[in-house]
Chain A
Amino acid sequence: MAISRFSYANVRVMDLQKAIIHYTDTVGLRLVESDDQRAYFQADECQDHHCVITTLSDRAGIDHVGFKVNDPSDLVEAAEAASAHGLAVRDVPLGEIAGQGPGVMITLPSEHNMLLFYHADKIGYAGGMHNPVPGVSKNKIGAKVSHLDHTLLSCENAQPTVDFLTEVFDFSCTEKVVDPGGNIIAAFMSCTNTMHDLALGPGPNGTFHHMAFGMHSRGEVLEGVDILKEDEVPALEYGITRHGIAGVTTIYFHDPSGNRNEFYNGAYQSPGRPGLVPPIIWDVENFSRGAFYYEDAVPPAFFDEVT
């Protein structure tokens, strides 16, 4: 069948305890399990085991991104297709990552590792699976994150990865930023009916730009900003803003190791298969309005700071 979800991001952190405090008390995720090397978190409105893994390391950045397929035979097929494209592939056995079944790790042309897997253990929605409390409990600590929405990975040339994701993994490109020569500066790729599950932007290969947490309202993004300020979390100087690209409400901030996070609210919908709708094209002249709609300027740190 196909890739059904952007499931999780495994980010490297230099201090596991600080990461746990950040992703629970500030971001508002549930801590599912942890040991001295890794911690696993899930948002309130997801039923799988985790949407974020933090792995102890000597540097920040992205270890890998996890995508779920909805047929076990997809794993064999994906591995063969990736090998045929000359990409490195390795099997990830059951037990290497808690809370999920075996998978295949594929190194994309952008030098990011993408793990495909079929099975995730279920922890249920935070409100329960039977007669649940809707919305967020009054006892909730941290921001009102619904789910992990998307990630943006940085690379020197997005084109080969865009091609691979489109042709082999059936991603649609909803919007892209191009230079005057038509080369892709950034591409927003969806494997579902969302605006993007995986985006690619400029930077050194294999680096991490951000992961975004979805919220149900602009009001919850605002509340999230208050929590960031109270917790003295370093955030982008623009505070809350809107992306021209996708037209969504957003704020960027960093975890204690410097990995960028985003709170995000938007209703954008995409048609679900590549090539059906032509992508929106942003030219360089309009890019600053696309990135930051109100400010119409991009702070240099926005692209310089990747992990």
Chain B
Amino acid sequence: MGLKHRGILRIAYVRLGLNDNRLTQSLNFYRDRFGMLESMRDSERAYLRCWHETFQYNLVLEQTAENQLIEIGFHLRDEEDLDQLTDKIEAAGIEVEQSPANEPLKGMGRSIAFTIPGGQRLRLFADMAQSGYVTGFESPDWVTPRELRGTAAPMFLNHVGLTSADPGATIDFLANVLGFGLSEKIVSEDGKTLSGLLFRMCRDVGGQELAIFPGEDGHLHHIAFTKEDPNDILIIGQYLREDGINIDAYGPTKQSYGNTFSLHFFDDMGIRLELCCGGRNIDAHPESEPIIWTESELARALSYYDSDVNPGFLDHSL
């Protein structure tokens, strides 16, 4: 039977390398103040997940000499997809690195890693160990766990923003080779693609798993996490500020581009994070049409509630 959802099913994790001795500072942020659950810890890495998530990690932290985005992980349907995508990526002239199960990350099946035209590494795999829901599987209370209240307590990893010197080429690769759909894009006055939001499946808080912004190759723009609604995000903004966390100059805002209600802020290492809800409703269908923004409308696209473009907003943060 071919009536199956194939290829990339979901965004799984972001893996960061941080110059942080024994990950003390970053765990203090992501686990204790941002409110992710620590699933596993070994001498090299900490594996964290969002509270509504059953899979073992959405964020992997490891100690490196310099702060860096190591890779972004995507979950495929099965091994057959892994083989097919390997062939497609190689046919596009991109070198593919094969890794056996549990390498380099624990709890993961066989995987492939490669560099997209924008310079970032992606890893694809078909199997990831599950921690199980923190609520349990039997008649659960779907309520933010008590120990996480007062933190951001994100529900899911929502999307990752990347910068790219040639956003059009990166978007074409993600769409044509990896099978992403385009929900929105920003084009210059002469019709060149400056930015795009890419997705794989219809979700309730969705429309993007990868966001491509213009900038230097190989960098991270931001990491976004899902919250239930704007009310949550407004309240959590207060907790973050009370905790001394650096909130982006936009503050809480409606992001017209992507149709989310969003709050951007920075972790202690300066990495830009986002809490978002809402999002563009779109289905993974060849006839779905993207929203098109023109560059002259950039200020309104990035933040509906602010009259100026926040000058640093398009800069990468890692």
**Chain A residues close to B by CB (< 8 Å):** 1-5, 45-47, 68-71, 74, 77-78, 81, 119-120, 122, 124-125, 129-135, 146-147, 149, 168-170, 191-195, 214, 216-219, 244, 246-247, 265-269, 271-273, 276-283, 285-286, 289-290
User: Contacts A129-B292, A267-B155 known; A120 to B143 CB distance under 8 Å?
Assistant: no
Query: Which of B1, B54, B287 is within 8 Å of A120, CB to CB?
Result: B287
Across the interface, do A218 and B137 meet the contact criterion of CB distance under 8 Å? no
B226 at interface (Cβ–Cβ under 8 A)?
yes
In the complex, A286 Cα to B139 Cα: how many Å?
Answer: 6
Is B138 among interface residues, defined by CB-CB distance under 8 A? yes
Nearest-neighbor residue (CB-CB) of A116 within chain B: B3
Residues on A with beta carbons closer than 8 Å to the beta carbon of B9:
193, 271-273, 276
A46 near B281 with CB under 8 A, answer yes
Report if B300 contacts A (CB, 8 A). yes
Contact A280 B137 (CB under 8 A): yes
Please report the C-alpha to C-alpha distance between residue A276 and residue B280 in the assembled complex, in whole angstroms.
26
Is chain B's interface secondary structure helix, strand, loop, or mixed overall?
Answer: loop
Nearest-Cβ distance from residue A211 to partner chain B, whole angstroms: 15
Interchain Cβ contacts under 8 Å between A and B, 19 examples: A1-B2, A4-B283, A45-B259, A45-B281, A68-B283, A71-B286, A81-B1, A124-B289, A131-B294, A147-B281, A170-B3, A192-B201, A193-B206, A218-B228, A247-B142, A272-B9, A277-B130, A280-B138, A282-B139
Asked whether B301 is an interface residue with its Cβ less than 8 Å from the other chain, the reply is yes
Which residues of B have CB within 8 Å of A290?
A: 139
The list of the 9 closest CB pairs from A to B, nearest first, reads A247-B142, A286-B139, A272-B9, A5-B283, A217-B229, A192-B202, A134-B256, A216-B278, A193-B203
Measured CA separation A135–B119 after assembly (Å): 34
Q: State which of B1, B10, B277 has its C-beta within 8 Å of the C-beta of A217.
A: B277
Instruction: Give the residue of A47, A77, A269 whose beta carbon is less than 8 angstroms from that of B3.
Output: A77
Q: Is the CB of B156 within 8 A of A267?
A: yes
Interface of A, secondary structure class, is loop
Q: Name the A residues within 8 Å of B155 (CB-CB).
A: 267, 269
Q: Are A81 and B156 in contact (CB-based, < 8 A)? A: no
Assess the A265–B289 pair: CB atoms within 8 A.
Answer: no
Nearest CB of chain B from residue A289's CB, rounded to whole Å = 7
* Contact B3 A216, beta carbon cutoff 8 Å: no
CA distance A57 to B211 in the complex (A): 47
Which of A146, A218, A267 has the most C-beta atoms of chain B within 10 angstroms of its own C-beta?
A267
CB distance B202 to A193 under 8 Å? Answer: yes
Q: Determine whether the beta carbon of B254 is less than 8 Å from that of A134.
A: yes
Chain B positions 271-305 with a Cβ under 8 Å from a chain A Cβ: 277-278, 280-289, 291-294, 297, 300-301, 304
In the complex, the answer to whether B3 meets A192 with C-beta atoms within 8 Å is no
Asked whether B229 lies within 8 Å of A281 as measured between CB atoms, the reply is no
Interface size on B, residues (CB 8 A): 62
A272, B285: Cβ atoms under 8 Å? Answer: no
Nearest chain-B residue to A220 (Cβ)?
B229
User: In the complex the two chains form, is A266's CB within 8 Å of B141's CB?
Assistant: no
B52 within 8 A of A: yes
Q: Which of B218-240 contact A (CB under 8 A)?
A: 226-231
A78 and B3 contacting across the interface, CB-CB below 8 Å:
yes
**Closest chain B CB from A245 CB (angstroms):** 8
Question: Do A131 and B204 form a contact, CB below 8 Å, given A70-B285, A193-B10, A289-B139?
Answer: no
Q: Which residues of B contact A133 (CB under 8 A)?
A: 256
Contact indicator B5/A272 (Cβ below 8 Å): yes
Given A134-B304, A193-B201, A278-B137, A70–B286 Cβ distance below 8 Å? yes
Interface core residue of A125, A217, A265, A266 (most chain B CB under 10 Å): A217
B146 at the interface (CB under 8 A from A): no
- For B276, the closest partner residue in chain A by CB is A267
From A129, A192, A266, name the one whose CB has the most chain B CB atoms within 10 angstroms. Answer: A192
A267's contact among B6, B139, B228, B254, by CB below 8 Å, is which? B228
Are A283 and B4 closer than 8 Å at their CB atoms? no
Report the minimum CB–CB distance from B276 to chain A (whole Å). 10
Tell me which residues from 145 to 162 in chain B have a Cβ below 8 Å from any Cβ of chain A.
155-156
Q: How long is the Cα–Cα vector from A279 to B54 in the complex, in angstroms?
A: 11
Among candidates A135, A168, A193, residue contacting B254 with C-beta atoms closer than 8 Å: A135
